[in-house]
Amino acid sequence: MIQATRDAACRYQIGVDIGGTFTDVIALGTDGSITSHKALSTPDDYGRGIVAAILQTLAQFGAGPDSIERVVHATTVATNAILEHRGSRVGLVTTKGFRDVLEMRRLRIPEMYALNWKKPEPLVSRELRLEVDERIGPRGEAWTELDEASVRRAGEKLRAAGVEAVSISLLHSYANPAHEQRVAAILKEMLDAHVFVSCSSDVLPVIREYERTSTTVINAFLGPTLEKYFSSLSAHLMNAGITAPLQVMKSDGGIMAVQTAMKLPAYLIESGPAAGVIGAGRLSQTLKLSDCITLDMGGTTAKASIVENGEVPRTGDYEVGAGINLSSKLVIGGGYSLKLPVIDISEIGAGGGSLVTVDDGGLLHVGPRSAGSVPGPVAYDLGGLEPTFTDAVVSLGYLSPSGIAGGALALNAGKARDVLQQRIADPLSIDLQQAAYGIFQVACGTMTRAVKAVSTFRGRDPRDFALFAFGGNGPVVAAHVAEILEMKKIIIPPHPGVFSAYGLLLSDVVHEMAQGYLRSLARIDVADIRQHYVAMENELLQSLREAGYADEAVQFTWLADLRYSGQAHELSTKVPVSQDRTFAMAELIEAFETEHEKTYGHRAKADAVECVTLRIAARVAMQSKGAQHRINLTSSGSQTGKTRSAFFRDRVYETPIVSRADLQGCKRSGPMIVEEYDSTCVVPPGWSVMVDASGVINLEKE
């Protein structure tokens, strides 16, 4: 945490990342000042905790709410609503004969030989999946005109059922949305004004009825929940005198206005994790570190992503609600399909609050259930009774018993040890330190699944990458995870515990558009594709003008979802377009085949290349204003300069406690513990550590 003298003319940008355990706030001033704050989340009313944390952060400058320039927010409310099935009561209106698309799904399961595997229940129960008589052809022609009487019968059933949201997904509406638009108009007349209505032609106008329907249902399922959440948050901000614009992080790493987020909540599924990856991508470019794998471990989950050549990867194939959220085509079918632009992140239930149990067979489990912020780990001394990962690392000596978040949250190490002894060590007939270290190893082993999902499963060798670790617990586990994967280099950025909040302020405004376009590239003309892209550009420009952005500030990226003929999945490929908006088809095919070879290890030269979807992204840079923000390297822990007993591998070491400032410009060997306000970095034996001129902690395997 940095104390600063307030410049009366200084304006602040506020980043707020809310997690299952902590709410992280970072403030960047136009004078170069920077400060951060961590507070326990308030699940009963997240807005109350957010506003309190913002005001406490500004108080460090002696500043008030009128000094805020903008607030950028990332939230886990959307993904938690999916994982916990706490969304709205939603209905589905679809074309006659396609009522059970959500049940039939795809003929893929995540575990090939698991005979007891059960697919997740659809988000819409069958009695609320209703058919209407109509049919649009794949080229947009009306084969059967819409029977409005069937729409009204569906509306009456939905009204009687008291639905809070309706999703509309008609066959081939991506080619012609007229029937969907008319169905929506009729239902809005018949249903209460508060009912959220979502059309697939607005959310995802592309082929594949299951993916399009699933994504539209997710959008409707989340709609009322996110409307209520953002309305409450906006009210809390207004009541506190904060009138600055509120922007929200999307799953693809861009930001959008809160008003748009209320209409398209499905875009927020990976809102929080995306911010940290964006920050890692930006910082890796500054450090000239082209390739890295990010590891973000917080209080509830661990997230991993990959940065190649300084670029953050995005995907259009994602699943949520499967225990591990990911986009791997090798492990698919366990969750709900979300075919929207998402930063390629794998997420798994392993965090500081992950509950530790021993099953009837004597097997140790860590997560996925979490103690959250209330009651939290036993060490928090807030009423928690079940052992957690945090209790294990406290018992190992990795965390300061005087507390975390600058001592704001004291830790009761005695209670942590007692619960581990009673619940874990005694049932397994092992000593306490072996039990705690076993928990640590199991959790780290679980996290390697998330790392492999974005590296090994993509044809990338993690040994060729640096591990970029952040989050409250990322630096605690980084070295052990790296050892399992045989990675040699680790990067710990400044402010690691609030790094996702920092990444929010490095993100740009991004609007996307997609259009189904199923064609063989050998049979189409470049001019035809160009015409579609230019039309989409003009539509996006108009929406950005309405939001107050100048045309010259907008940068466009053209993408195409391509595949070899006969393949079931596509690879999103950047179109090599020139300044005059032209490109060569051969260059596009080469770009696709290069990515295919990198991902799958081969090319299929004899097969034709097909385009499935045209995509376009419009970006407005939102760079932080003012001077370069100063990194705090001062000591922030009262234990700095002392030692603490810590257990590594097979014995206890008397381990030095240092600050980031102590390591600047000098390389030291572990074991060592680096304590900061918002995180703790554990350097085990066999690793060396130093801080470079930019304030980054570098760990290397000796």
Q: What local confidence, expressed as pLDDT, does residue 405 receive?
A: 61
Please give the pLDDT value at position 178.
96
Instruction: Over range 33-41, report the average pLDDT.
Output: 83
CA distance 393 to 399: 6
The confidence score (pLDDT) of residue 193 equals 92
Buried b / exposed e over 488-506, threshold 16 CB at 10 Å, is: bebbbbbbbbbbbbbbbbb
pLDDT at residue 179 is higher than 90: yes
User: What is the average pLDDT score of the chain?
Assistant: 87
Per-residue HEC secondary structure of 319-380 comes to EECCCEEECCCCCCCCCEEECCCEECCEEECCCCCEEEEECCCCCEEEEEEECCCCCCCHHH
pLDDT at residue 322, as a whole number: 56
Q: Residue 637 has what pLDDT? A: 45
217 in Cβ contact with 91 (< 8 Å)? no
Instruction: List the single range of 10-14, 77-81, 173-177, 415-419 with lowest mean pLDDT.
Output: 77-81
More confident residue, 79 or 586: 586
Share of the chain above pLDDT 90, in %: 52
- Average pLDDT of span 272-281: 86
Query: Residue 242 pLDDT > 70, yes or no?
Result: yes
Of 130-134, 432-436, 441-445, 501-505, where does mean pLDDT reach its minimum?
A: 501-505
> CATH 3.30.420.40 spans which residues of the chain?
271-349+444-504
Q: What are the backbone angles phi and psi of residue 161, rounded to the nearest 5°?
A: -80, -10
| pLDDT tens, position by position, 305-314 | 999 887 887 7
Query: What span, in angstroms and rounded, lies between the C-alpha atoms of 271 and 18?
Result: 10
For CATH 3.30.1490, list the domain ranges present in the chain: 511-620
641: helix, strand or coil: coil
Q: Binning pLDDT at 50, 70 and 90, where does residue 341 land?
A: confident
Task: Map residue 557 onto helix, strand or coil.
Answer: strand
pTM, entire model? 0.82
Question: Residue 183: its pLDDT value, please?
Answer: 98
Average pLDDT over residues 71-99: 88
pLDDT in tens, 501-550: 888 988 888 888 888 898 899 888 888 899 999 999 999 999 888 878 89
Under DSSP, the state recorded for 664 is B
> Quick one: which of 504, 107, 58, 445 has its CA closest to 277?
504
Per-residue pLDDT, averaged over 360-384, amounts to: 84
Tokens 């240092």, located at residue:
658
| DSSP element (H, E) containing 585 | helix 585-600
Architecture of the domain delimited by 511-620: 2-Layer Sandwich (3.30)
349 versus 405: the higher-pLDDT residue is 349
Distances (CA, A) of 16 to 23, 245, 390: 7, 13, 23
Q: Are 520 and 529 in contact (CB under 8 A)?
A: no
pLDDT (tens digit, 9 = 90+) per residue, 543-556? 888 878 899 999 99
Quote the pLDDT of residue 3: 43
Dist CA 137 CA 157 (whole Å): 27
- What architecture is domain 271-349+444-504? 2-Layer Sandwich (3.30)
Burial 131-166 (b: 16+ CB within 10 A, else e): bbbbbbeeeeeeeeebeeebbeebbeebeeeebbbb
Question: How far is residue 652's CA from residue 663's CA, in Å, rounded to a whole number?
Answer: 23
Dihedral pair phi/psi, residue 98, rounded to 5°:
-120, 30
For 622-667, write each residue's pLDDT tens digit. Answer: 765 433 455 554 444 445 568 999 999 889 999 999 999 899 888 9
Please state, in angstroms and rounded to a whole number, the distance separating the CA atoms of residues 115 and 218. Answer: 28
Cα–Cα distance, 319 to 333 (Å, whole number): 8
Short-list 288, 315, 229, CA closest to 45: 229
- What is the number of other CB atoms lying within 10 angstroms of the CB of residue 448? 21
Mean pLDDT of 375-379: 87
H or E stretch at 519: strand 509-520
Residue 340 pLDDT class (50, 70, 90 cuts): confident
Lowest-confidence range among 191-200, 402-411, 633-642?
Answer: 633-642
Residue range 287-314: mean pLDDT, rounded: 86
